[in-house]
């Protein structure tokens, strides 16, 4: 995780650096949503909500993306449904299955999170420059081809 350079200063590897940046975005988005009134939403619930596809996702897919048991994902979805953040609807491709979708309330808070992420990315661009941000995004899109099983 940490490499020691010849000067003895710890140098974080690129994977850890990507995680730190992603964690910062996630924290800012979550804090903005709570400030906007979603005071009953936990970070774990918010993380699961962020995995829901625009047209809905199955619980098993959410569990796989979150790397948690299907039962844990179902429990979180139950909580989110009771709080009004998500709804379950019939899967049009399989009438026996259900999709989890964001409710209007969930979408509204998702918009708040998206706006905060956009602000953070703008700040990053101001800090490192537009060209470096374009390069970073291009590099991350290329890496996604080999790292994201849902790409």
Q: Model confidence over 19-75: pLDDT tens digits?
A: 999 999 999 999 999 999 999 999 999 999 999 999 999 999 999 999 999 999 999
Maximum Cα–Cα distance for the chain, whole Å?
A: 62
> Are the beta carbons of 122 and 108 closer than 8 angstroms?
no
**pLDDT, position 2:** 53
CA angle 27, 32, 36 (to 5 degrees): 150
Residue holding tokens 């420059």? Answer: 129
CA torsion sign for 123, 127, 133, 136 is negative
**pLDDT, position 11:** 87
Domain residue spans of the chain: 24-143
**pLDDT, position 8:** 46
**pLDDT, position 10:** 74
Phi-psi region of 42 (alpha: psi -120 to 50; beta: other; left: phi over 0): beta
Burial pattern 24-47, b for ≥16 Cβ within 10 A else e, equals eebebbbebbbeeebeebeeebbb
Q: If pLDDT is split at 50, 70 and 90, which confidence band does 112 have?
A: very high
* Percentage of residues of the chain with pLDDT beyond 70: 94
**pLDDT, position 151:** 77
**pLDDT, position 1:** 53
Q: If pLDDT is split at 50, 70 and 90, which confidence band does 96 have?
A: confident
DSSP state of 57: B
> Are the beta carbons of 34 and 41 closer than 8 angstroms?
yes
Q: Which CATH number fits domain 24-143: 1.25.40.10, 3.10.20.600, 2.60.40.420, 1.10.10.10?
A: 1.10.10.10
**pLDDT, position 5:** 47
**pLDDT, position 63:** 96
pTM of the model: 0.86
Structure tokens at 64: 């796989």
């Amino acid at each position: 995780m940490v490499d020691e350079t010849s000067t003895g200063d710890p140098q974080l590897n690129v994977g850890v650096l990507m995680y730190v940046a992603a964690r910062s975005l996630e924290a800012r988005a979550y804090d903005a949503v709570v400030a906007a009134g979603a005071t009953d939403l936990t970070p774990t619930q918010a993380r699961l909500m962020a995995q829901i596809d625009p047209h809905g996702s199955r619980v098993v897919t959410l569990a796989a993306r979150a790397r948690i048991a299907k039962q844990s994902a179902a429990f979180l979805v139950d909580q989110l449904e009771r709080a009004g953040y998500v709804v379950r609807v019939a899967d049009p491709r399989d009438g026996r299955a259900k999709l989890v979708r964001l409710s209007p309330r969930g979408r509204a808070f998702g918009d708040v999170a998206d706006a905060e992420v956009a602000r953070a990315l703008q700040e990053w661009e101001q800090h490192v420059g537009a060209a470096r941000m374009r390069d970073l995004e291009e590099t991350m899109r290329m890496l996604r081809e080999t790292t994201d099983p849902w790409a």
